[in-house]
Amino acid sequence: MGDPPTIAVVDDDEGVRLATLSLLRSYGFDALVFGSGAEFLAETTSQSPDCMICDIQMPDMTGPELVLRLTQEGRRYPVIFVTAFATQELRRLAIASGGVRVLEKPSSADDLIAEVEKAIADSSNPSTWAAA
């Protein structure tokens, strides 16, 4: 059997990062956590996760800005955005930047894991990533 999928969690809230890390590991995923988009960019130059869970609103670099930067660098993988401020405009921006889905904080563990599993299953077909 192969290695478990690796999920990157990018969120400026330490409590959210640690809770998400614990949840992902309890479902058998490998998980990496980052406190900002800049931290993610600095530490993942040679590796790519199978999926990313990313906060939309973070200081210095928003989630959509991070994903656009990754896309410009040719680094593409499914992204699930999470936010406590899920307006229609924010959802549109997140999906337009390359997100698979936008979940509101707090999300249920079942919803988050279902979205991660779906994103990984669809990871071989990038055209489905923005189908929200």
> How confident is the model over 30-51, as pLDDT tens digits?
999 999 999 999 987 667 899 9
Q: Is 131 a domain residue?
A: no
Question: Which domain range does residue 119 map to?
Answer: 6-123
Question: Is the model's pLDDT at 132 over the cut of 60?
Answer: no
Q: Is 132 a domain residue?
A: no
Q: Is 21 a domain residue?
A: yes
What is the value of pTM for the model shown? 0.87
Q: Is 42 a domain residue?
A: yes
Q: Is 129 a domain residue?
A: no
Q: Is 128 a domain residue?
A: no
Q: Is 65 a domain residue?
A: yes
DSSP the chain: --PPPEEEEE-S-HHHHHHHHHHHHHTT-EEEEESSHHHHHHH-SS---SEEEEES--SSS-HHHHHHHHHHTT----EEEEES---HHHHHHHHHTT-SEEEESSPPHHHHHHHHHHHHHTTT-GGGTT--
Q: How many structural domains is the chain composed of?
A: 1
Q: Is 39 a domain residue?
A: yes
> How confident is the model over 2-34, as pLDDT tens digits?
789 999 999 999 999 999 999 999 999 999 999
